[in-house]
Structure 1
Amino acid sequence: MTVFLTALITLTGALCSSATSPSHDFRYTYGCYESDEVRVDNLVDDDLCGYADFSKEEVVWAMPHPPDFVERFQKRVYEIAKAAISHCHSVLSKAKDADAGSALRQEAPSSFIYTRYEGEDGLLNTIFCLANHFYPPTINFTWTKNEVTITAGALDHRYQHNSDGTFRRISSLSFTPREGDVYSCTVEHHTLQQPLTRSWKLPKRKSSLSPAAVFLGVSLVLCLMGIGAGVFFFTKQPS
């Protein structure tokens, strides 16, 4: 059984506001799992601004220019995140004991594939594979090029929360498309009877000739053929 627990903590106004700038809502969410994985996200005004990286023992900012007041409290934010580990596992243990027979929630994902830029032959691009609305939050992405598995340039991004309690996650692949190549993303989740696979390839090049030009060209060819046939039969008439 896997239980996801969320706690929202709103810090004091001294942390979230200053005399020269409008107040901000700074809070964090944390969740833990039976696998001992703990996730702590920091939010400013409901937007993800950073997360705790326990391997590096620091908070990693997810926005390019975080507010000054957030950076000033970086050490304190990490201490709060670290304290959440024991608290989260304590609540998880109590939740399991209180409802040991409950069924695990199961939600199968949907998937979608798209590119950063309109695909052009020979130009570097990024392709994204989105898996959405799944639970529990364990999912696997596999990229292939012409049915051959590839890992170079692939990156699985962090899980994100949906408002209904499910999760979404994106995997990206840096690639240089070539005409005829087919890129596929396969999503595996234990709720699926079979993996979901979405494919992408360069769209066919549109003809540079307009319909009017094509019509004019065909008409001209037919006209010349008609003139040629007329000349042929005229020259064949008995003198």
Structure 2
Amino acid sequence: MLTILCSDMRRAAVIILILNHCAFSEIAHEIVRFVGCFDNGTTEVLFEYDAEEILYVDFERQELVYTVPPFLVSDPSEMFEGLRVYIDAVKGKRVCSAVLTFFKLEEKNPPEEEDPPESVLYPAEDVQPGVENSLICFVNHFYPPFIKVSWTKNGHPVSEGVSLSRYYANNDQTFYQFSTLTFTPTEDDIYSCTVEHSALERPRTKIWEPEFSHQSQGPDIFCGVGLTLGFLGVTAGTILIVKGHHGW
């Protein structure tokens, strides 16, 4: 099993753990190889046998140095007989250095922070049935500066009459953009604007339906009735005055 442990990258160190299981007797034992590489260019490789250090690699002298006490194991090299310990240690050194370089680059070049867009959908002019108008999908406060805008009418994709403006920069280093759909509003039509951006988990859709203002005829009717009653009142009053004048 191979495990990579990264310590605080301000000290730029990577430790690779390689576990091996062996059985020199009926009892299973565990050998762990540690490969540590550091920002100053040094690399350390050591082996543990059942959680006790048994040897380390001296790369300057190109040899293995056994640290197990002689009274415990008379010849610890026998434990690694047939294994290419030093050759594997050199390979581990190369791997560890490559991993260290990768993490250092990741630290210096962290992924860019992304800002998800906000969007609003509205008509450019007052909506009147049968009168050509424009729907504006205003997309704001997004980064990086790339969005995809798509339109639908009554659930069907629309491409005719669609335009997309260039990107404009906000003061907070985000961007905004307009997409416009030219249309002629009729009742019961439903339009939608869908925005896709890398900072969004899923596309964001705004829906718009035309609302026509039907002017009520009530005030005109009431006004007509009032005028009619007024005329009737004037007529009735005139007749009474005439009757009184002639002594009827």
Larger Rg: 2
TM-score (norm 2): 0.44
Of Structure 1 and Structure 2, the greater strand share is in: 2
